[in-house]
Amino acid sequence: MAGAILGALLVLGMPLTAGILLASLDPGPDAPVTGPPQAIIILSGDGRRLPDPDLLDPGPFTLERLRAGAALHRRTGLPILVSGGRMPPARMPLAEMMAISLAEDFQAPVRWREEASRSTWENAQMSAALLREAGVDRILLVTHAWHMRRSLAVFRHFGLEATAAPVRPLAWPRGRLGDFIPQPSGWQGSHHALHEWIGIAFYRIRN
């Protein structure tokens, strides 16, 4: 049993395995929409706790999404909604952290802040409610490519016509020698992929 567990861990640590699992999350072609997008939604990813419990800094995943969302805003001129609730014990909602970073680091204003969600499901549910009040139902969705399949499904479930604007698009691994050597990035990628597939299965049951 211990040998089987160790073997599985080694396989999951291979960049080849992680790459295959991540690429399998590709959501496929965008669904048809009834018109041009009206807003950009940027989903929170992580935050770095600071000594002051009232403050947070964007973590690496959130920072990548903010950078991509700001670039998209500059290209399109569309208003931005940021989504993310509190990450205890920090008292600052992730959406507030994101709005501050977008304004100060990327000179990109935020029109809406959804500050109560605790999951992707709630990101979509609460963001859709905010946007309906503004007459918005077509959005560009910014999150990591490995998170996009689940995110698109749940945002569409709540009535938004969501088009993917992925961070770090997915690609199938090339099978180079280094792809067979377990390394931290492999375990991280496998973790993200398995987490997403479990989440997708859970949301399908929930629906």
What are the pLDDT digits (tens) for 96-147? 999 999 999 999 999 999 999 999 999 999 999 999 999 999 999 999 999 9
Domain total of the chain:
1
How large a percentage of the chain has pLDDT more than 70? 100
As a whole number, mean pLDDT of residues 146-153 equals 97
Which CATH number covers residue 33? 3.40.50.620
- State residue 131's pLDDT score: 98
Could you tell me if 84 and 98 are in contact, meaning their C-beta atoms sit under 8 angstroms apart? yes
| Alpha carbons 140 and 163: distance in angstroms, whole number | 5
Domain of residue 70, residue span? 25-173
- State residue 178's pLDDT score: 77
Has residue 202 been placed in a domain? no
Has residue 58 been placed in a domain? yes
Has residue 53 been placed in a domain? yes
| Alpha carbons 46 and 60: distance in angstroms, whole number | 7
Has residue 181 been placed in a domain? no
Give, for 165, the enclosing helix (H) or strand (E).
strand 161-167
- State residue 61's pLDDT score: 96
pLDDT reading at 149 higher than 80 = yes
The pLDDT tens digits for 64-86 are 999 999 999 999 999 999 999 99
The pLDDT tens digits for 14-54 are 888 888 998 899 988 888 889 999 999 999 999 998 888 78
Has residue 2 been placed in a domain? no
10, HSE (Cβ side, Cα atoms, 13 Å): 8
As a whole number, mean pLDDT of residues 190-200 equals 91
Tell me the sheet residues that pair with 114.
83
- 40 or 9: which leads in pLDDT: 40
Edge-to-edge strand ranges of the sheet holding 161-167: 112-114, 80-83, 39-43, 138-144, 161-167
Could you tell me if 37 and 184 are in contact, meaning their C-beta atoms sit under 8 angstroms apart? no
- State residue 161's pLDDT score: 97
| Alpha carbons 51 and 138: distance in angstroms, whole number | 39
